[in-house]
Amino acid sequence: MAAIQAQFRQIKTFILDVDGVLTDGSVNLLASGERFRTVFIRDTYAIEQALKAGFRVGILSSSSSEGVRNWLIAMQVKDIFMGGPSDQKINAYLGYIARDGLNEAEILYMGDDLPDFSILSRPNVVSTCPADAVDEIRAVCQYVSPKSGGRGAVRDVIEQVMKAQGKWGI
């Protein structure tokens, strides 16, 4: 645990998947064909606190939902990369870090399923996942949250990082 705490002290950017990380992976379908997702308010609070403390928060998802995008914009998340083939997430990730000159050792990435594998298995990124991530993802991650996706996993990692840096609290 001491090794991951040392890595948490270096984090400046959180990059999060949506489905299975910010949500529990469920997609509700309306008769109109519209799909909606549910997010956990404690995860939302943690993202707001991270932004207030000066951390970057990026969203990287192969799904594209205007409801999710509007929610993120309302929270003032600026780096939103949504849509595109799930097997191309790595390209969006690499483009983002190149565009903004980000150092991978200062990035915490949280994903839960196989499309996240190529990012989570990179040697310098701090790889994390929810407790209910698929086996292959849990096996490659440096930190597995005790919380499930959409039920506090995001809050857990943000709080852990901010506590390690003395930035969490009232």
Tokens standing for 156?
């857990």
Tokens standing for 108?
């915490």
CB 104 within 8 A of CB 121: no
Residues flagged as binding site for substrate: 19
Residues flagged as binding site: 17, 19, 112
Residues flagged as binding site for Mg(2+): 17, 112
d(CA 2, CA 92): 31
CB 38 within 8 A of CB 22: no
CA distances from 35 to 26, 41, 79 (A): 10, 19, 23
| Structure-token match 């690499």, residue found | 94
d(CA 127, CA 24): 19
